[in-house]
């Protein structure tokens, strides 16, 4: 029994003095630093070894693509201490104190493994943003690193990440130097963001060969415009498919060229197969224009194309026109058995030579006097509304003009009559008004109503001056004496008077009876003019 008691005491003492401390130290170790009990799963002594490799950590320079390796002595932040080798256990609280440091720039504390940005400072050296003070920084929090790596553009004063967007100052200066452009704000700047670089970099316009800000490049708008190819392709000097850079002013000039082409089309003279346009003098031959497409299925469309091409070259006519008919077989459909049947579709191609023409000078000499003292005139210009007032200064009488016009027509004396724009209002809607509308609607073009807000006097005198014609009117035209000296002389102004039912014009030897039926006289006048015009065309043909 005593033996058992002794064995029990020995075993108990061994368990108490040897086994239990071993089990206790293994399951519930004490921190070497603070002697606090810690569980096995929370023992951080192994974490101390993580401090050793910090000197070998690789910092990848994302911006430059060049790795930078810092040795243990050069790395900012923690250095492994020899005392750490004697630590057997380390509680979580003591490990947190060891691995948590304070930023050198601000009071903020941070985990040295997760947030220390001191090693990132060397990335600023290749960018020219590194300062000597950075050598002292051992610990740098993320916020302070962000403040250091964020700089302000000197042009727009916006902030940007120096690594993400990079300083574009050198690229901008190089661009401006290529195009010999000097900007004072760029010369004084130290930092330029990407946005300011895009706004201020230049390109050379392919049309005017002058530098301009690339941001205003109108080449894409030019190519996508529907007006440019419609009016300028393919011969106009302002049309090109190879312009990659087009300044805004040149684009505006191209649009103005589209309008100019449309204006010149309205002033088109003629197109002919002959070497010159009849009754016109060729001023300049501009070159050959040609259409060889397949869209023209009508000769008239071909002429319209060549007319547009000639205008694009600056011409107002084309000569030596040549056309060719081309036949193309196309499938028109299929029969009951599925067999195709064909039809022939014509298309027209051709060419011509664009020219600039102008009318020949054909000023007629002043007509001589006849033996009896009357003028031997060849052309007359009539002041319509003035003649209608010869009988009275009150209401106009259209019968006076009708009688005179019919007499001149019977004598086959060419004349042209101009009316003021307010003539329909003056004559009213009665019988005279309907007769007047019939005269104006006559296709012969002998009776002309001038546009609104324009005086017929201006057209009368201009036409008479250009062709050396005589004017029938009792108007003195004093307002135009300075412009047309012959008006003051009065030898080409023919006056008349109404006496009773007669029109007297001594200088022409006319004594004309006024017919009371204006409608009947107008019908005879229109038919006589049409008959004479038909005879003239037949004789000319």
What is the band of 362 on the pLDDT scale with cuts at 50, 70, 90? very low
CATH class for the region spanning 380-540: alpha beta
Residue 274 has pLDDT above 70, yes or no: yes
Give the position of tokens 């004084």.
Answer: 188
Band (pLDDT 50/70/90 cuts) for residue 285 is very high
pLDDT at 534 over 70: no
* Residue 161, number of CB atoms within 10 A of its CB: 13
Q: How confident is the model at residue 40 (pLDDT cuts 50, 70, 90)?
A: low
pLDDT of residue 444: 67
- Give 302 or 33, the one with higher predicted confidence: 302
Give the phi and the psi of residue 44 in degrees, each rounded to 5.
-105, 15
User: Which residue did the predictor score with more confidence, 360 or 175?
Assistant: 175
Helical axes 398-410 vs 518-540, angle rounded to 10°? 30
Determine the average pLDDT of the residues in 376-392.
88
Asked if residue 438 lies in contact with residue 526, where contact means CB atoms within 8 angstroms, the answer is yes
In degrees and rounded to multiples of 5, residue 538 shows phi and psi of: -70, -40
Whether the predicted pLDDT of 208 surpasses 80: yes
Instruction: Identify which has the larger pLDDT, 225 or 112.
Output: 225
CB 120 within 8 A of CB 145: yes
**42 touches 29 (CB < 8 A):** no
Q: Which residue has the tokens 């590194």?
A: 130
CA distances (Å), origin 261, targets 121, 256, 308, 409: 64, 9, 8, 41
Query: Of the spans 111-125, 185-199, 241-255, 432-446, which averages the highest pLDDT?
Result: 241-255
Q: Among 395, 432, 410, which residue's Cα sits nearest to residue 525?
A: 410
- DSSP letter string over 467-520? HT-EEE-S---GGGTTT-HHHHH-TTEE--EEETTEEEEGGGTEEEEPPS-HHH
Write the burial class of residue 305 (CB in 10 Å: 0-12 exposed, 13-18 middle, 19+ buried): buried
Q: In this predicted structure, which of 47-51, 101-105, 178-182, 475-479 has the lowest mean pLDDT?
A: 47-51
- Match 């298309």 to its residue by tokens: 347
Model confidence at 144, in pLDDT bands (50, 70, 90)?
confident
Other Cβ atoms closer than 10 A to 224: 8
From the options 3.30.110, 3.40.50, 3.30.960, 3.30.450, give the CATH code of 270-359.
3.30.110
394 has a pLDDT exceeding 80: no
Q: What is the model's pLDDT at position 317? A: 94
- The span from the CA of 155 to the CA of 153, in Å, is 5
- The mean of the pLDDT values for the chain is 80
Q: How far apart, in Å, do the first and last CA atoms of the chain sit?
A: 163
Using pLDDT thresholds of 50, 70 and 90, give the confidence band for residue 157: confident
Beta-bridge partners for 499: 502
Give pLDDT, residue 65: 36
Helix H segments across 225-279?
A: 227-232, 248-266
- What's residue 41's pLDDT? 58
- Give φ, ψ of 470 to 5 degrees: -100, 150
pLDDT band at 78 (very low <50, low <70, confident <90, very high): very low
Domain spans in the chain, listed from the N-terminal domain onward = 2-26, 42-151, 219-266, 270-359, 380-540
- Is the pLDDT score of 26 beyond 70? no
Lowest mean pLDDT among 51-60, 235-244, 305-314, 342-351: 51-60
Assigned token pair, 251: 């684009």
Q: Check whether 62 has a pLDDT greater than 70.
A: no
Q: Given the structure tokens 């090109």, which residue do they identify?
A: 240
Mean pLDDT over residues 246-250, rounded?
A: 94
pLDDT value of position 437: 87
| More confidently predicted of 485 and 535 | 485
Question: What confidence tier does 72 reach under pLDDT thresholds 50, 70, 90?
Answer: very low
Higher pLDDT: 18 or 308? It is 308
Q: What percent of the chain has pLDDT over 90?
A: 28
Whether the per-residue pLDDT at 355 is higher than 60: the answer is: yes
| Contact residues for 140 (Cβ-Cβ < 8 A; gap 6+) | 76, 103, 104, 105, 116, 117, 118, 120, 121, 148
Task: Give mean pLDDT, residues 370-377.
Answer: 59
**Phi-psi bin for 279: left (phi > 0), alpha (psi -120 to 50), beta?**
left
pLDDT at position 533 is: 76
Share of the chain above pLDDT 70, in %: 82
> Which ranges in 150-217 belong to alpha helices (H)?
169-178, 184-188, 194-200
**SS3 at position 529:** helix
Q: For the chain, what is the radius of gyration of the CA atoms? A: 51
Q: What pLDDT is recorded for position 237?
A: 93
Q: What is the DSSP secondary-structure string of 267-325?
A: T--EE-SSSS-TTEEEEEEEEEEEE--S---SHHHHHHHHHHHHHHTT-SEEEEEEEEE
**Would you mind telling me the total number of residues written for the chain in this entry?**
541
- Short-list 350, 348, 355, 330, CA closest to 340: 330
Fill in the DSSP letter of residue 19: I
Burial class (CB in 10 A: 0-12, 13-18, 19+), 478: exposed
What are the DSSP calls for 412-472, one per residue?
Answer: T--EEEEE-TTHHHHH-SSHHHHHHHHHHT-TT--EEEPPTT--HHHHHHHHHHHHT-EEE
The DSSP secondary-structure symbol of 162 reads T
Strands 202-204 and 211-213: antiparallel
**ω before 234 within 30° of 0 (cis)?**
yes
Instruction: Say what the pLDDT of residue 66 is.
Output: 36
Give how far Cα 37 sits from Cα of 24, 32, 87, 92, 94, Å.
10, 10, 14, 11, 12
CA angle 188, 190, 191 (to 5 degrees): 125
* Chain center to CA of 383: 49
């Amino acid at each position: 029994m005593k033996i058992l008691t002794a064995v029990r005491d020995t075993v108990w003492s061994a368990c108490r003095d040897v086994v239990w401390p071993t089990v206790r130290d293994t399951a519930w170790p004490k921190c070497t630093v603070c002697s606090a009990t810690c569980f096995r799963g929370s023992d951080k002594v192994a974490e101390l070894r993580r401090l050793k490799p910090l000197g070998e950590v690789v910092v990848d320079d994302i911006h430059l693509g060049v790795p930078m390796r810092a040795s243990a002595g050069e790395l900012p932040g923690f250095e492994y201490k020899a005392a750490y080798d004697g630590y057997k256990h380390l509680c979580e609280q003591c490990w947190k104190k060891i691995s948590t440091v304070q930023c050198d720039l601000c009071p903020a504390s941070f985990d040295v493994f997760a947030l220390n940005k001191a090693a990132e400072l060397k990335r600023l050296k290749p960018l020219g943003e590194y300062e000597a003070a950075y050598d002292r920084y051992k610990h740098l929090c993320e916020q302070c690193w962000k403040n250091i790596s964020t700089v302000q553009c000197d042009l727009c004063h916006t902030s940007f990440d120096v690594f993400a967007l990079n300083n574009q100052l050198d690229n901008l200066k190089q661009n401006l130097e290529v195009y010999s452009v000097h900007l004072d704000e760029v010369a004084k700047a130290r930092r330029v963001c990407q946005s300011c670089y895009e706004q201020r970099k230049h390109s050379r316009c392919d049309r005017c060969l002058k530098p301009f800000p690339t941001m205003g490049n109108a080449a894409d708008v030019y190519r996508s415009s529907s007006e440019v190819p419609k009016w300028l392709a393919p011969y106009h000097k302002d049309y090109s498919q190879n312009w990659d850079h087009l300044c805004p002013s040149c684009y505006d000039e191209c649009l103005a060229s589209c309008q100019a082409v449309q204006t010149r089309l309205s002033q088109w003279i003629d197109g002919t197969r002959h070497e010159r346009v009849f009754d016109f003098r060729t001023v300049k031959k501009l070159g050959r224009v040609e259409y060889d497409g397949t869209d023209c299925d009508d000769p008239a469309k071909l002429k319209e194309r060549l007319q547009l091409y000639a205008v694009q070259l600056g011409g107002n006519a084309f000569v030596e026109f040549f056309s060719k008919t081309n036949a193309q077989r196309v499938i028109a459909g299929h029969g009951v058995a599925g067999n195709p049947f064909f039809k022939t579709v014509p298309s027209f191609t051709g060419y011509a030579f664009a020219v600039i023409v102008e009318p020949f000078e054909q000023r007629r000499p002043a007509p001589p006097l006849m033996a009896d003292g009357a003028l031997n005139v060849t052309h007359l210009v009539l002041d319509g509304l003035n003649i209608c007032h010869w009988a009275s200064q009150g209401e106009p009488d259209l019968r006076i003009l009708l009688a005179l016009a019919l007499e001149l027509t019977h004598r086959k004396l060419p004349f042209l009559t101009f009316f003021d724009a307010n003539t329909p209002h003056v004559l009213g809607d009665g019988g005279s008004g309907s007769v007047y509308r019939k005269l104006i609607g006559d296709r012969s073009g002998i009776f002309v109503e001038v546009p609104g807000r324009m005086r017929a006097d201006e057209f009368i005198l201009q036409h008479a001056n250009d062709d050396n014609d005589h004017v029938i009117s009792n108007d003195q035209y004093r307002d135009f004496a300075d412009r047309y000296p012959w008006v003051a002389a009065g030898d080409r102004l023919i006056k008349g008077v109404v006496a009773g039912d007669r029109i007297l014009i001594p200088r022409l030897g006319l004594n004309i009876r006024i017919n009371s039926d204006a409608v009947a006289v107008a019908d005879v006048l229109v038919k006589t003019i049409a008959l004479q015009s038909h005879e003239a065309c037949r004789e000319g043909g």
